[in-house]
Structure 1
Amino acid sequence: MSFNIGLSGLAAANKALNVTGNNIANVATTGFKSSRAEFADQYAASIRGTSGKTSVGSGVTTAAVSQQFTQGNITSTGQSLDLAINGNGFFVLSDNGSKVYTRSGAFYSDKSGNIVDVSGNNLQGYSADTDGKLQTGVLSNLKIDTSNLAPKATSSISETVNLNSSATTPSVTTFDPANSASYNYTFNTDTYDSQGNLHALNQYFVKNDTDNTWTMYSTIDGVTPNDPGAVPVVPLVNTLSFNSDGTLKDITVPTGSTGWTVKTDGTLALTDWVPAAKAADGTWAGNGAAPSATGITLDLLSTTQYNAASATTSKDQNGYATGELTGLSVDGSGNLFANFTNGQDKVIGQVVMANFANTQGLTPIGGTNWKESFASGVAIIGEPDTGTLGDIKSSSLEDSNVDLTAELVNLIKAQSNYQANAKTISTESTIMQTIIQMT
């Protein structure tokens, strides 16, 4: 019996050495989760046999080798497709249609634009349509669309302007955009047509001391908005009136003039703009592009007349030129953004995560990957940073969770255990030799 007990101890110590050695070997493996050997004692006596008070154990057995799914340190890498999970969950991969799960987030783009790991497994998530709307509910291979972002014609402009209440009527009473003495303040706002061509909305403001109003003259690219070839240039004309506290009262179109159309909500509308280009001879003509289908809405409702320098404190417009892909970024919720040269970001997909009722029941298959099993339960798929799922750190990787110092101590303990069990066998052998010599 003592021989068997000693042999079981040697086997257990050897198993502990193997587990510890594997942990140490993977101390630098991204997303690796350390393991520990768990042992249980053995008894050969029947419950109907001798009393448990006098039973002697028959050695030790390996009850389990369990993995420790504790969080590893997160290290920044600067690579946009390096992803780390902060919290619970696993990335979902497709290995030729078979689902596997990993904590290793070192991903790349293959020649077809698919996001894959080093083994060629496809990262799973929700794809997005051409408008950036996620197709949730159906997992698919995430792919990077490298095509240019189509331009968008400007349909909305918002401006916050203050016009100096202490300003006086200009010395030149006939407005002339080429003569700064004929207006008090001016600025330009970028706008785009359907082909992504840039145009400048020019706005000039002239103070009228007589009735304490301001006249706004508007051109686009310095020409008549609805007739770019017109000579002379005929700007749009609107009158801005203010309340006694300096807030905007209303905007009107002077009698006999053409200006921005005043909508019922107080904003302005331009529906007949003709995008144009300048020819070599200096003339202007339509460039074949179109404005926004709904025209341009100009919001000047935040305009004020205070005793401060005339200034534009903010402005915004929703158009943009054609954009070329410059990079990728991922937010904490797994949204994958394509970044373009025109400053726009577009959602092209969302990384999903999986979790299990019993992560200890997952089956390791190598490559820092696991598969679900009957013991783990089915995968629960969800969006990052929801429920019990962790969030995603982009441009980062999760290090191995191996504690090297602790593993080195475990090596010493396993070695001592091995030597002690070997001594048990050696002692039993000496006793047997003594008995044989007595006979």
Structure 2
Amino acid sequence: MAFQQGLSGLNAASKNIEVIGNNVANASTVGFKQSRTEFADVYANSLGGGNASKIGIGTKIAAITQQFTQGNISNSQNPLDVAINGNGFFRMSDNGAITYSRNGQFQLSKDGYIENASGQRLTGYALVNGQIQTGALTELRIDAADLAPRATTSITGPLNLDSRADILDPDLFDINDPSTYSHSTPIEVFDSLGNSHAVQLYYLKTGVDTAVTPATTTWTIMASADGVQTPVGTPPVPVGTMVFTGSGINPTITPATPNISIPVGTGGLTPMSVTLNLAGSTQFANSFSESDLGQDGYSAGRLSSFSVGSDGSILGRYSNGQSAILGQVALANFRNLNGLQPLGDNQWAETSESGPPIIGVANSGGLGVLQSYRLEDSNVDLTAELVNMITAQRVYQANAQTIKTEDQIMQTLVNLR
């Protein structure tokens, strides 16, 4: 009888329309993965074995599988909106209960934890003693504490000294008289409390020795700190010298790394000693220039912004121009994605069918890359789903017609006389 086949077809088509409707409803849900209805035919068992003329008794739903294909990536204005481009899931914690999600819409809680709209916290690797601890997973928290200052220990940077400069007497050097030095360079340094100090370096061409071959030229280096010459002395005491040969490169610096004494004397700090590294300096007949003069200290800084890198590293940027890693997002993947249990709220749970999670960092071990200021859209193709809905509707109508036709045949038999 065709009633059973038609009824099974109606049930299957109805379930298929429900699945399609759910896909359409979530076409705008971030990180949503569309589902597909998979059908199987049904045959009655027979004690007589195989039968070439055997007719099936309808269809059934074999499975409803989710399609974990990549969704489009769209822009966002939130630095904590993060898209996974490739394989993997965010690992979320709800008071220790672990779930997995592709929805990267995050925000900071009042305690600084990174969490989703349901209050579940993003997990990853924390920063301990300045190093990312990849061995233990924890709920990620943005530490908004000020970045501690670092005292300057060295000043580095090659420069070019103009070989055409006049010879000067170092005993007449005066930091307030530009005619007593050839060139000068200002640079800001910091003490251990982050206080700024103005260091000025002065270069004096103090001698040319033509009695040797090749001839040599001597430059004397003077320094001042916060407007006072250092070290203090009469006549003026240099911090070092540079001697060039005829080539004008690779000077002999004495001492190799001159020390600049900075008598801080405030806030209970002891005097600082900053080394000067001028390796690579030259003496050519060009204007005085600095290639890349810099120092390794900085003041205290307030956290001003942060973003997530492609490998999941959370980079904080501070008001003092420095940046620091605050943590790293971990991703999880599974061997059998369709073994995951859908929980709703864009969450999945691990099951025995999915296998255990494979944990790692983004852009490694087959895991995708992370993109900050981005969101992964639903992978639902709305046009295709509407076409599928029309097809499912026609299938439903056809199965209804099968039942109607069988009813007419039965009515004909009943009416036989």
State TM-score, norm by structure 2: 0.94
Equivalent residue, structure 2, for 1:267: 257
Q: How far 1:318 sits from its partner (Å)? A: 1.3
Report the CA distance shift for 1:223/1:422 in structure 2 as closer, same or farther (over 3 A).
same
- Matched with 1:363 is 341
- CA–CA separation in structure 2 for the residues paired with 1:52 and 1:408: 40
Deviation (angstroms), 1:344: 0.9
1:86 matched residue in structure 2: 85
Matched, 1:314 2:292: yes
SS in 1 for 2:408: helix
RMSD of aligned residue pairs (Cα, Å): 1.9
Shift of 1:233: 10
Alignment partner, residue 281 of structure 1: none
Taking only the aligned residue pairs, the percentage that are identical comes to 44
Q: Does 1:163 align with 2:168?
A: no
Amino acid at match of 1:36: R
Moved more, 200-209 or 8-17: 200-209
Q: Cα deviations across residues 50-76 of structure 1 (Å, max 9, x unaligned)?
A: 643100011011011111111111112
Note closer, same or farther for the CA distance 1:410–1:237 as it changes in structure 2 (3 Å cut).
same
Q: Does the CA contact (< 8 Å) of 2:251 and 2:281 recur in 1?
A: no
Check conservation: 2:99, 2:347, Cα contact below 8 A. yes
Conserved? CA contact 1:168–1:209, under 8 Å? no
State the partner residue of 1:282: none
Distance 1:235 1:74 in 2: 64
Q: Distance in 1 between matches of 2:404 and 2:18?
A: 23
Instruction: Tell me: CA distance 1:114–1:291, structure 2 relative to 1, closer, same or farther (3 Å).
Output: farther
Question: Closer, same or farther in 2 for the Cα pair 1:42/1:174, shift >3 Å?
Answer: same
| Residue of structure 1 aligned with 2:243, choices 234, 241, 244 | 241
> Partner residue of 2:24?
24
Q: How does 1:10-409 map to 2 (within 5 A)?
A: 10-46=10-46, 48-49=47-48, 51-129=50-128, 131-170=129-168, 174-211=172-209, 212-225=217-230, 236-252=238-254, 262=255, 266-270=256-260, 272-276=261-265, 286-290=266-270, 295-409=273-387
| 1:223–1:235 Cα contact (<8 Å) kept | no
Corresponding residue of 1:283: none
Whole-Å Cα distance in 2 between the matches of residues 234 and 103 of structure 1? Answer: 68
Q: What is the alpha-carbon distance in structure 2 between the residues aligned to residue 233 and residue 428 of structure 1? A: 120
Specify whether residues 233 and 402 from structure 1 end up closer, same or farther in structure 2 by C-alpha distance, changes over 3 A only. farther
Distance 1:166 1:351 in 2: 57
Residue 241 of structure 2 aligns with an amino acid whose one-letter code is T
1:397–1:237 distance in 2 versus 1, CA, 3 Å: same
**Aligned-residue offset at 1:275:** 1.5
More deviation, 119-128/301-310 = 301-310
Listed one character per residue, the Cα deviations across residues 189-244 of structure 1 (whole Å, up to 9, x for unaligned) are: 11100110111221011113433211111111122446xxx698955432110132
CA separation in 1, counterparts of 2:364 and 2:50?
A: 55
In structure 1, stretches of 5+ residues that fail to align are 253-261, 277-285
2:411 corresponds to: 433
Task: Give the Cα separation in 2 of the matches to 1:172 and 1:119.
Answer: 72
Q: Which moved more, 1:306-315 or 1:161-170?
A: 161-170
Query: 2:175, 2:224 within 8 Å by CA — same for their partners in 1?
Result: no
Partner Cα distance (1:122, 1:234) in 2 = 63
Q: Distance in 2 between matches of 1:193 and 1:235?
A: 23
Aligned length: 410
Distance 1:397 1:164 in 2: 56
Question: Aligned AA for 1:19?
Answer: V
Following superposition, the deviation at residue 171 of structure 1 comes to 9.1
Q: Is the 8 A contact 2:311 2:361 kept in 1?
A: yes
Q: Which amino acid aligns with 2:268?
A: G
How much does 1:290 deviate?
A: 4.2
Structure 2: runs of 5+ lacking an equivalent: 210-216
Give the residue type in structure 2 aligned to 1:349. Answer: G
Q: Flag the 1:426–1:233 CA change in 2: closer, same or farther, 3 A.
A: farther
Q: What residue identity is the alignment partner of 1:434?
A: T
